[in-house]
Amino acid sequence: MANAADRDAVAGWDDGWWRGARRIESPNRGLRPEGTTVSLALIHSISLPPGEYGGDGVERLFTNRLDWDEHPYYQRIRGLQVSSHFFLRRDGTLLQFVNCDERAWHAGQSSWQGRDNCNDYSIGIELEGLEGEHFEAAQYTVLVSLLQAIAARYPLQHVAGHEHVAPGRKIDPGPGFDWLAIRTALHWPDTAFAVRS
């Protein structure tokens, strides 16, 4: 059986950093609880300012460099310290902010299948977009490749949206996200997905 380094090389990983993404390290991260395995990929959507695409607002938010006075919306999130493992732009460009072996700060108060604190055992993937709006074909293509890469390295069991782990508090990625497209492309069991229909 191949050792971990050999498996990483085949799957395109350098430890917990995927070589298919541009690496930008966030200070907003921590250790996973000892003995915790990654079993959940958690899909989000984000844009800063909301509904505006292509800027560097999300990158600056995840690296604590956002100018809170630059846009009126930023006053609502002033002081927020968050991160996600990945941010997938609308053109398919992928950025990685946190080593997947570490805990990113993306889910907040959350629970999946009776298990709290999703940050402990999940990999967060933020799609550039707005809840209720559609996402781009390039994003789905890269997302499928990313999920396959994650599943090659980690014992991934489920894919869910932020709305599924924090219902009533979060609504992303929302009705504009095409769960069927992801399920069809991956050919994983229906039970792996929060949305099956």
Active site residues: 126
Q: Give residue 107's identity as a one-letter amino acid code.
A: A
CA atoms lying within 13 Å on the CB side of residue 161: 24
Assigned token pair, 57 = 């607002």
- Euclidean distance between CA atoms 80 and 98, whole angstroms: 17
Q: Give residue 92's identity as a one-letter amino acid code.
A: G
- Euclidean distance between CA atoms 84 and 98, whole angstroms: 7
- Euclidean distance between CA atoms 25 and 18, whole angstroms: 13
Q: Which residues lie below 8 Å from residue 54, measured CB to CB, with a gap of 6+?
A: 89, 90
Percent helix, strand and coil across the chain, each to the nearest 5: 30, 20, 50
Quote the Cα angle for 7-9-14, to 5°: 105
- Euclidean distance between CA atoms 197 and 73, whole angstroms: 35
Query: In angstroms, how far is CA 72 from the centroid of its own chain?
Result: 26
